[in-house]
Amino acid sequence: MKTVTFTDFRKKASGFITEVEHGETIILLRRGKPIAEIIPFTDRHRQIPSWKQPGIRLTIKGSNLSSAILEERKVGL
Protein backbone atom coordinates (compact mmCIF):
# COMPACT_ATOMS: atom_id res chain seq x y z
CA MET A 1 0.00 0.00 0.00
CA LYS A 2 1.32 3.39 -0.95
CA THR A 3 0.29 6.83 0.32
CA VAL A 4 0.42 9.81 -2.03
CA THR A 5 -0.55 13.43 -1.62
CA PHE A 6 -3.36 14.64 -3.82
CA THR A 7 -1.05 17.17 -5.50
CA ASP A 8 1.50 14.48 -6.39
CA PHE A 9 -1.28 12.25 -7.69
CA ARG A 10 -2.54 15.00 -10.01
CA LYS A 11 0.97 15.57 -11.36
CA LYS A 12 1.79 11.88 -11.91
CA ALA A 13 -1.66 10.29 -12.27
CA SER A 14 -0.75 8.13 -15.26
CA GLY A 15 2.16 6.49 -13.44
CA PHE A 16 0.09 5.85 -10.33
CA ILE A 17 -2.74 4.33 -12.37
CA THR A 18 -0.20 2.00 -13.98
CA GLU A 19 0.89 0.91 -10.50
CA VAL A 20 -2.72 0.21 -9.57
CA GLU A 21 -3.08 -1.90 -12.74
CA HIS A 22 -0.17 -3.99 -11.46
CA GLY A 23 -1.88 -4.62 -8.12
CA GLU A 24 -0.74 -1.69 -5.96
CA THR A 25 -3.23 0.04 -3.64
CA ILE A 26 -2.86 3.80 -3.29
CA ILE A 27 -4.19 5.99 -0.48
CA LEU A 28 -4.69 9.65 -1.44
CA LEU A 29 -3.95 12.25 1.22
CA ARG A 30 -5.17 15.82 1.36
CA ARG A 31 -3.62 17.98 4.09
CA GLY A 32 -2.25 14.80 5.66
CA LYS A 33 -5.63 13.06 5.95
CA PRO A 34 -6.70 10.08 3.84
CA ILE A 35 -9.48 11.01 1.41
CA ALA A 36 -9.58 8.11 -1.05
CA GLU A 37 -8.34 4.60 -1.66
CA ILE A 38 -7.55 3.50 -5.20
CA ILE A 39 -7.60 -0.27 -5.55
CA PRO A 40 -7.23 -2.58 -8.55
CA PHE A 41 -10.48 -3.51 -10.24
CA THR A 42 -11.63 -7.10 -9.93
CA ASP A 43 -14.22 -8.98 -11.98
CA ARG A 44 -15.11 -11.22 -9.03
CA HIS A 45 -18.63 -10.92 -7.75
CA ARG A 46 -18.74 -8.45 -4.94
CA GLN A 47 -19.59 -9.75 -1.51
CA ILE A 48 -23.16 -9.07 -0.43
CA PRO A 49 -23.25 -6.46 2.35
CA SER A 50 -24.12 -7.92 5.73
CA TRP A 51 -27.40 -6.00 5.90
CA LYS A 52 -28.54 -7.74 2.68
CA GLN A 53 -27.54 -11.25 3.76
CA PRO A 54 -30.31 -13.51 5.04
CA GLY A 55 -30.74 -13.43 8.80
CA ILE A 56 -30.78 -16.30 11.24
CA ARG A 57 -34.06 -18.18 11.34
CA LEU A 58 -35.02 -19.51 14.71
CA THR A 59 -37.01 -22.73 14.79
CA ILE A 60 -38.59 -24.60 17.65
CA LYS A 61 -40.05 -28.07 17.87
CA GLY A 62 -43.80 -28.29 17.73
CA SER A 63 -46.39 -26.30 15.85
CA ASN A 64 -45.78 -22.81 14.62
CA LEU A 65 -47.42 -19.75 16.15
CA SER A 66 -49.92 -19.18 13.35
CA SER A 67 -51.18 -22.77 13.65
CA ALA A 68 -51.58 -22.34 17.41
CA ILE A 69 -53.59 -19.13 16.96
CA LEU A 70 -55.85 -20.72 14.36
CA GLU A 71 -56.42 -23.72 16.65
CA GLU A 72 -57.38 -21.45 19.56
CA ARG A 73 -59.82 -19.58 17.33
CA LYS A 74 -61.52 -22.84 16.35
CA VAL A 75 -61.82 -23.95 19.99
CA GLY A 76 -63.15 -20.56 21.10
CA LEU A 77 -66.05 -20.62 18.62
Q: Does the pTM exceed 0.75?
A: no
- Following DSSP, what letter does each residue of the chain receive, concatenated? -EEEEHHHHHHTHHHHHHHHHTT--EEEEETTEEEEEE-----SPPPPPGGGS-------SS--HHHHHHHHHHHH-
Q: What domains are there in the chain, each with its CATH number?
A: 1-41 (3.40.1620.10)
- Residues across the chain: 77
What local confidence, expressed as pLDDT, does residue 77 receive?
63
What local confidence, expressed as pLDDT, does residue 10 receive?
95
Instruction: Pick out the chain residues at pLDDT < 70.
Output: 44-45, 60, 77
Per-residue pLDDT tens over the stretch 1-22: 999 999 999 999 999 999 999 9
